[in-house]
């Protein structure tokens, strides 16, 4: 009895796979960067900005070249501000924090090599909540650090999505 049910399930699965591939279904993947971003430079006021490094990496993966000098780039992505906040969401009966919210905000603009505005400054914000326990302070601090990294990656992904689907205010030369 179980073999018959398993055979029917396997046959149905094979049939579904056949229909899905026959209709031309395929995963969409990511959209390419627009031509005006084929060469991009990332600059930040923060000397060792992890977000700037992540953004450079994401641009390379998406097919953009990162030139040696900003004057050689079609677009200069300027990180104009980063802000990290942590706030208490809930407290226990003893008045100690039990839950926090991490909030990461990035402000950026895109300019041409002469400083003309291609995309006006925009802000991207991501937030995550996590519970806190005084019993597991080391584990929770590791979790908090990982959440900060995840928030930065999320912000970079949002910036990349905005860049993929945006049109410059003025046409780059």
Tokens at 36, concatenated: 């005006």
- Please give the Cα distance from 90 to 169 (Å, whole number): 44
Tokens at 119, concatenated: 């995309």
- Please give the Cα distance from 161 to 163 (Å, whole number): 5
151 lies in a domain?
yes
Q: Could you read off the pLDDT of 115-140 as tens digits, one per residue?
A: 899 999 999 999 998 887 666 666 67
15 lies in a domain?
no
CATH number of the CATH domain containing 112: 3.30.160.150
pTM summary value: 0.75
111 lies in a domain?
yes
Q: Could you read off the pLDDT of 134-164 as tens digits, one per residue?
A: 666 666 778 888 999 999 999 999 999 999 9
Instruction: Label residue 153 exposed, middle or buried (CB < 10 Å: 0-12, 13-18, 19+).
Output: middle
19 lies in a domain?
no
26 lies in a domain?
no
Q: Could you read off the pLDDT of 13-25 as tens digits, one per residue?
A: 777 776 666 666 5
Q: Yes or no: say if 132 and 98 are a contact pair by the CB < 8 Å rule.
A: yes
**Which among 55, 54, 61 has a CA at the least distance from the CA of 30?**
61
Residue range(s) defining the domain that contains residue 158 = 33-164
Give me the residues paired with residue 85 across strands: 103
7 lies in a domain?
no
Q: Which residues contact 90 (CB under 8 A, 6 or more apart)?
A: 97, 98, 99
DSSP conformation class of 134: G
147 lies in a domain?
yes
Q: Could you read off the pLDDT of 81-123 as tens digits, one per residue?
A: 999 999 988 888 888 888 889 999 999 999 998 889 999 999 9
18 lies in a domain?
no
Which H helix or E strand runs over 29?
Answer: none
**Which among 132, 63, 60 has a CA at the least distance from the CA of 101?**
132
Number of structural domains (the chain) is: 1
What DSSP string runs through 66-124? --SSGGG-SEEEEEEEEEEEEEEEEE-TTS-EEEEEEEEEEEEEEE-TTS-EEEEEEEE
């Amino acid at each position: 009895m179980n073999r018959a049910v398993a055979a029917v399930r396997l046959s149905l699965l094979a049939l579904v796979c056949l229909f899905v591939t026959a209709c031309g279904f395929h995963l969409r993947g990511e959209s390419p960067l627009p031509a005006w971003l084929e060469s991009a430079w990332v600059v930040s006021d923060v000397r060792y900005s992890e977000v700037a490094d992540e953004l450079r990496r994401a641009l390379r993966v998406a097919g953009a070249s990162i030139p040696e000098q900003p004057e050689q780039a079609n677009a200069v992505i300027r990180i104009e501000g980063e802000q990290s906040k942590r706030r208490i969401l809930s407290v226990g009966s003893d008045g100690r924090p039990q839950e926090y919210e991490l909030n990461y905000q990035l402000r950026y603009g895109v300019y041409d090599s002469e400083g003309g505005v291609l995309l006006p400054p925009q802000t991207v914000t991501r937030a995550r909540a996590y519970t806190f326990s005084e019993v597991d302070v080391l584990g929770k601090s590791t979790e908090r650090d990982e959440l900060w990294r995840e928030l930065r990656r999320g912000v970079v992904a949002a910036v990349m999505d905005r860049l993929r689907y945006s049109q410059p205010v003025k046409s780059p030369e």
